[in-house]
Chain A
């Protein structure tokens, strides 16, 4: 196992307001990490910073990813390097079909890796196979990206993109929020399909329920911009029973 992602003392603010206050985290290939925490703790910020959202300013610390300085890369360069963020709120793009976006994204990444673009037949075979895993109607492939999709369809569409792009580091930002149990199982099924070396997953979630279907190797609790507790899968169960209240005191105690 090798360190795929190595975060040291990460501080992040937006519009001058500190959101993350010193995060240290190492993710090795093959591992699945879950970040849990109450609303407003900085979970989504953390996910978006990893994908390169320019709204956030990294004020201190470093992120190494696959022997590169991640913070020096633009969002698209991170995607080329194998980072994928499944969005909490996927964006609707009328007039641009799902299949066009998938084809463009996949072929751009292949080109960056020095691989040939997939021809139309191979691409179609692949996309149909992956859509079947997500139990998505083929019809959705030819619709405008997320336009008029239900909440569950949008989330499944994110995981379809993940399955097509086969990232090395996949970050799921509250993909489970608002999903009914069937859709949640499909999302988990998609993730479990790709799980294992050389890949790693970072699941950002508010609810323990997702972790019944995707068993994490490590669980971290984010509160007030810090990882205040780390443990194995049993930590998620404890959080389910006790809530986050008892950890907030820990967070307050840990603040400088």
Chain B
């Protein structure tokens, strides 16, 4: 049931002494064990249920290596990926490693620690021993194992009790497009009781070289903590992005995810939320816009383990040309999770007869006093809405474009962070309508 990847053992043996934290015993054990898992499991093939619609055979033919050195990126190059009009903390990673000269120094509020994983592993590895890998499934996939074996760097954000990171943290990951390179990133976010923060991950790759991004973000929210997490996948046409976001939530904590996929040849976003405390809430929003031969696979899982928790999933995709999207939404309500509320909504809009959207809502409910609803459609533009706009003098082409944009805007409207929302509105208005006036008169809220 797998695509064996023997090549990575040699790569690992050659490079392991250069990886961050190379002398740290507990980490070496983790890396060795992860490599063994990767050797044993390889990459999943389509007979593995969770990968049924995403074929990795092409990926398996490459032998990706970490970049020897980081590509040259200047401050001015960042502009297309930054958000306007709001001060943010920023950390830029180039080819998987922190680029300190691109990170403006701003004072952090008390109780907030922000560093990068490579530095933390050199300076205070003991602090990470209990944290790294804490959210990973012991039966991890080959990719999670590969991430542990090769992890280079990533952000490490720690919020003490009641700490508030008022300005958002923007993590910008730039793949400079060196051919056959892999970028392996691990972010760790530990939010202490009552703390709150907003974190944006932007993934970009200006070039068109074949490359692999393998990233894991581990998030732990203690009691009553709150995190808004934005992930923008905007990589180039030849990039494969395999991402995992693993969230553990304690009592009364709140997690909001906005996962936006606009770029990349193949994107797999795994998002797993473990609601392991009474009254915990999560909202998972997703928007995928694909064209050409893009393939985007959103695989989500929510575990309701305790009573009175709620989850709300809202995923939309817009597909053109021969592109393909997959949405799998698995919701497990465990026996103790009475009074669970779980909503799931997944709608796909096909703009081309060759596009294909696969959707798999999966509910497993082992408690009896729960409210679970789901709605799922794959279809074309609403004929009534088209007629409405044409009856208001708009020609059918303009009307179609407006409705496609409206379909996407429905997800963006859920975003609280205005600069990110405006940025995406601009990107989508240009890509879907070619019309700036739409933004001049953008709805106010």
Contact = CB atoms under 8 A, between A and B. Distances in A.
A100 B441 contact: yes
Given A54-B387, A93-B403, A95-B405, A76 B393 contact: yes
A105 B405 CA distance: 18
Interface string A94-117: 111101110111001100100000
B441 A75 contact: no
Contacts of B442: 97, 100
Interface in A48-85: 48, 51-55, 74-76, 78-80, 84-85
A142 B408 CA distance: 18
Contacts of B396: 74, 76
A101 B443 CA distance: 11
Given A52-B391, A105-B393, 18 more contacts: A48-B387, A54-B387, A74-B396, A75-B387, A75-B390, A76-B396, A76-B399, A79-B393, A87-B388, A90-B388, A91-B384, A95-B409, A96-B406, A97-B441, A104-B437, A143-B444, A165-B392, A165-B393
Interface of B: 382-385, 387-396, 398-399, 402-403, 405-406, 408-410, 412-413, 425, 437-438, 441-445
Contact of B390 (A52, A97, A143): A52
B406 A93 contact: yes
Interface of A: 48, 51-55, 74-76, 78-80, 84-85, 87, 89-91, 93-97, 99-101, 103-105, 108-109, 112, 142-144, 147, 161, 165
B395 A142 contact: no
A79 to B, nearest CB: 4
A102 to B, nearest CB: 9
B394 A95 contact: no
Contacts of B425: 95
Contacts of A87: 388, 391
B162 to A, nearest CB: 35
A79 B387 CA distance: 11
Given A87-B388, A142-B443, A95 B406 contact: yes
Given A54-B387, A91-B384, A95-B443, A108 B406 contact: no
Contacts of B399: 76
Given A55-B383, A94-B406, A100-B438, A144 B443 contact: yes
Nearest to B429: A95
Contacts of A93: 385, 389, 402-403, 406
Contacts of B402: 93, 96
Contacts of A144: 406, 409, 413, 443
Contacts of B382: 91
A80 B392 CA distance: 9
Nearest to A146: B388
Contacts of B384: 89, 91
Nearest to A51: B391
A80 B444 contact: no
Contacts of B387: 48, 51-54, 75
B388 A76 contact: no
B121 to A, nearest CB: 44
Contacts of A112: 393
27 contacts: A51-B391, A75-B391, A79-B391, A85-B391, A91-B384, A91-B388, A93-B389, A93-B403, A93-B406, A94-B406, A94-B413, A95-B405, A95-B412, A95-B413, A95-B425, A95-B443, A96-B405, A97-B441, A97-B442, A100-B438, A104-B394, A104-B398, A104-B437, A105-B393, A142-B444, A143-B445, A165-B393
B419 to A, nearest CB: 17
Nearest to B445: A143
Given A96-B438, A143-B444, A74 B390 contact: yes
A101 B402 CA distance: 10
Most B CB atoms within 10 A — which of A48, A52, A78, A91?
A: A91
Most B CB atoms within 10 A — which of A51, A52, A84, A104?
A: A104
Nearest to A103: B441
B410 A95 contact: yes
A208 to B, nearest CB: 27
A108 B391 CA distance: 12
Contact of A96 (B383, B391, B443): B443
A124 B389 CA distance: 21
Nearest to A53: B387
B392 A101 contact: yes
B316 to A, nearest CB: 11
Most A CB atoms within 10 A — which of B391, B406, B441?
A: B391
Nearest to A85: B391
Most B CB atoms within 10 A — which of A51, A84, A93?
A: A93
A101 B384 CA distance: 16
A100 B399 CA distance: 13
B408 A105 contact: no
Contacts of A103: 437, 441
A144 B409 CA distance: 10
A180 to B, nearest CB: 24
A215 B56 CA distance: 70
A136 B379 CA distance: 35
B345 to A, nearest CB: 14
Contacts of A99: 441
A93 B398 CA distance: 14
Nearest to A101: B392
Contacts of B406: 93-96, 144
B46 to A, nearest CB: 36
A84 B390 CA distance: 11
Contacts of B391: 51-52, 75-76, 78-79, 84-85, 87
A38 B437 CA distance: 44
Pairs A-B, 4 closest by C-beta atoms:
A95-B409, A100-B441, A75-B390, A79-B393
A93 B410 CA distance: 9
B415 to A, nearest CB: 12
B385 A109 contact: no
A225 B124 CA distance: 82
Contacts of A78: 391
Contact of B408 (A54, A85, A90, A95): A95
A91 B385 contact: yes
B393 A96 contact: no
Contacts of A89: 384
